[in-house]
Amino acid sequence: MSDAGSDSDLELLLDYLRRGRGFDFTGYKRSSLSRRIERRMQTVGMDNYLSYRDYLEVVPAEFTNLFNTILINVTSFYRDPPVWNYVAEEVLPRLLAQLQADEPLRIWSAGCASGEEAYTLAMLGAEQLGMEQFRERVKIYATDIDEEALIHARAASYAAKAVDNVPPELLERYFERNGQGTYVFSKELRRTAIFGRHDLIQDAPISRVDLLLCRNTLMYLNADTQTHILARFSFALRKRGYLLLGKAELLPAHSNLFTPVDLKWRVFRAVPQRTLGERLMVSAGTAGQGTADAAGSGERLREAAVEASPEGQLVVDAAGHLVLANAKARMLFSLGVDDVGKLFQDLEISYRPVELRSRIQQAYAERHPSAVCEVEWPGPNGEVAYLEVQVTPLFDDTQALLGASVSFANVTLSRRFQHELEHANRGLEDAYEELQSTNEELETTNEELQSTNEELETMNEELQATNEELQALNQVLSQRTTELNQMNALLESIWASVGRAVVVLDTELRVMVWNHRSQDLWGLRPEEAQGQHFVNLDIGLPVERLLPAIRATIGGEDDHHATLVEATNRRGKTIHCQVTCSPLLGDDDEIHGVILLTEDEPRQGPESRP
């Protein structure tokens, strides 16, 4: 809440502007917006948002003044000169290299203010391409929301101070100096620039743009509005088009529409967005390949493979006899070759380490393999091993049951790895979470820094605008001072030419004017007399004799009263003077003092006459 009212009062005012005038400032940062509005309110003597809204309703002309205050048009030719070097040396050559020799180059200067940015670009382009090529191939679309700024831009006439930054040779080549000391931008190049009103928030973007400059404009807008406009910019730019922002501006975090080309100069490139069709084509291109058969070659080979398998394997026939136990199984469960052929249920392995008989029956019934995970089995050195036991029913080609295969895979190592992996994963997750929150903190700090930076830059521009206004005011004031000095000099010479002593007193009888003739007569210099009370002056004039006439004149009872008095001049000589009192009238016809005109050699007459 500011002195001018609550946040909601400000929102009411913004809503009024949007509905009443179609100007939507709701996407602008409140800090600088409220400062600008309050500045305008101060000028018209309104102390809160709501009374200012009423004022706008009564004085519609105030809308224009308000918009001119909110829309800060600070700009200049070659603003931030190093950026323009980069544009000339890197951006334009790369852009031209990726175009065909006769292909047009489309440039958009968004938020162009009074056109200096667009014309700077025109000069750079003309220098690179030559005037003729430039005129044929390049189009600069320069847009702004502010009609008045656009009128200035189209006129292309700039004060001498505004072209300070233009290198002298370019000033010579691309500007004409007219009679009033202003510089007018080249007519020929002006034709390549089209100025138009465009609201970045509401209007559709210009399309197929190769180079888009939007400098020192987004910083006035809040983060959501910036994101919304940047999405439009990505649509406006051609593949591999360039975007230039102002030096205090950055892309919002997570923006994947642009990639930085040079962060220092705020140059970005549009990231080509894949169409849906392209994305589908990419996924279709990864279709699977055929699998290779692992064919064995002959019964013996198969037997040898089973025997050498690192997994223990048993085979039981449909009648319940153990028909096969490979080397690993024999070693694991201390089976002898003579156990082969025995009834499986008679062997310890049928129930230890895990009950297998029922599982085999279940596999037969379900005609489906079943598995038991992590079965503990003490190894030869007392260490517990973990086995994964799988029971698979076996069928012939006609699907008649042949028996079952039971495999024992040692998963001790993988189990340990799994546990270690889980542990490591948990650690990683914790670390990731920490990293994530640090990252978020950093991003927030970064965003805060970014917005402080933008805020500083907007304040800087506001100050610059105020400075320009003050300079204009200063000029008016100094003109007034000159006029006043001339007027004073004129008055001085009038007082001097009157040939009489002139003294002007205010209503309190303090000396306001004391001319040179008075100095001659009474010996006091003007600077000694002015500001003193008339009665306190140490001069040879019998002031008290004049007081009745002076008071009567100030009281409006008398007019041009002449008093004859005997006085002593500065040389000690007695003189006769005639002192005439006249009222000092102001513009308002009120009496503001009295004028005393003293003639030291008066014509003879009565001592005192009205």
Q: For ligand SAM, give the closer residue by CB, 74 or 537.
A: 74
From residue 76 to residue 95, what is the string marking binding to ligand SAM with x (rule CB under 6 A)?
---x----------------
Site for ligand SAM in 461-520 (CB under 6 A): 461
Q: Least separation, in Å, of the C-beta of 78 and ligand SAM? A: 10
Q: For ligand SAM, give the closer residue by CB, 339 or 461.
A: 461
From residue 383 to residue 402, what is the string marking binding to ligand SAM with x (rule CB under 6 A)?
--------------------
131 touches ligand SAM by CB under 6 A: no
Sign of CA dihedral 43, 44, 47, 52: negative
Site for ligand SAM in 268-307 (CB under 6 A): none
CB 553 within 8 A of CB 561: yes
Sign of CA dihedral 75, 79, 80, 84: positive
Q: For ligand SAM, give the closer residue by CB, 146 or 339.
A: 146
121 touches ligand SAM by CB under 6 A: no
Please write down the long-range contacts of 95-102, taking CB distance under 8 Å and 24 or more positions apart.
95/210, 95/211, 95/242, 96/128, 96/129, 98/240, 99/210, 102/137
Q: Which residues of 306-340 are buried (b: 16+ CB within 10 A; e: fewer)?
A: beeeebbbbbbbeebbbebbbebbbebbebeeebe
Interface segment toward ligand SAM; rule CB under 6 A; list 215-223, 237-245, 531-539, 572-580: 215-223
CA 434, CA 228: separation in Å to the nearest integer?
31
Q: Least separation, in Å, of the C-beta of 263 and ligand SAM? A: 18
Interface segment toward ligand SAM; rule CB under 6 A; list 70-78, 123-131, 388-396, 513-521: 70-78
403 touches ligand SAM by CB under 6 A: no
CB 49 within 8 A of CB 10: yes
Q: What is the DSSP letter of 273?
A: P
Per DSSP, the three-state class of 542 is: coil
- In this structure, which amino acid lies at residue 278? E
339 touches ligand SAM by CB under 6 A: no
Please write down the long-range contacts of 180-189, taking CB distance under 8 Å and 24 or more positions apart.
182/157, 182/158, 183/157, 183/158, 183/159, 184/156, 184/157, 184/158, 185/115, 185/119, 185/156, 185/157, 185/158, 188/131, 188/135, 189/119, 189/122, 189/123, 189/126, 189/131, 189/134, 189/135
Q: Least separation, in Å, of the C-beta of 526 and ligand SAM? A: 52
Residue of 44, 74, 184, 261 that binds ligand SAM (CB under 6 A): 74
Q: Least separation, in Å, of the C-beta of 477 and ligand SAM? A: 27
Q: Least separation, in Å, of the C-beta of 267 and ligand SAM? A: 14
44 touches ligand SAM by CB under 6 A: no
Size of the site for ligand SAM (CB under 6 A): 23
Q: For ligand SAM, give the closer residue by CB, 124 or 594.
A: 124
CA 255, CA 230: separation in Å to the nearest integer?
9
457 touches ligand SAM by CB under 6 A: no
142 touches ligand SAM by CB under 6 A: no
113 touches ligand SAM by CB under 6 A: yes
Based on its alpha-carbon atoms, the radius of gyration of the chain, rounded to whole angstroms, reads: 50
Q: Least separation, in Å, of the C-beta of 511 and ligand SAM? A: 54
Residue of 215, 359, 500, 561 that binds ligand SAM (CB under 6 A): 215
Residue of 91, 149, 166, 315 that binds ligand SAM (CB under 6 A): 149
Q: What is the DSSP letter of 376?
A: E
Interface segment toward ligand SAM; rule CB under 6 A; list 65-73, 281-289, 293-301, 580-588: 65-73
CB 76 within 8 A of CB 162: yes
CB 149 within 8 A of CB 140: no
CB 343 within 8 A of CB 318: no
Interface segment toward ligand SAM; rule CB under 6 A; list 66-74, 169-177, 273-281, 591-599: 66-74
Element at 385 (helix H, strand E): strand 384-395
Residue of 216, 407, 515, 563 that binds ligand SAM (CB under 6 A): 216
236 touches ligand SAM by CB under 6 A: no
Of 148, 261, 142, 265, residue with least CA distance to 212: 142
Interface segment toward ligand SAM; rule CB under 6 A; list 141-149, 232-240, 370-378, 422-430: 141-149
Per the document, the length of the chain is 610
Q: For ligand SAM, give the closer residue by CB, 229 or 329.
A: 229
Q: For ligand SAM, give the closer residue by CB, 75 or 350.
A: 75
* Residue entry with tokens 């596999």: 363
CA 164, CA 448: separation in Å to the nearest integer?
35
201 touches ligand SAM by CB under 6 A: yes
Interacting residues with ligand SAM (CB under 6 A)? 71-75, 79, 111-113, 117, 144-146, 149, 199-201, 215-217, 220, 246, 461
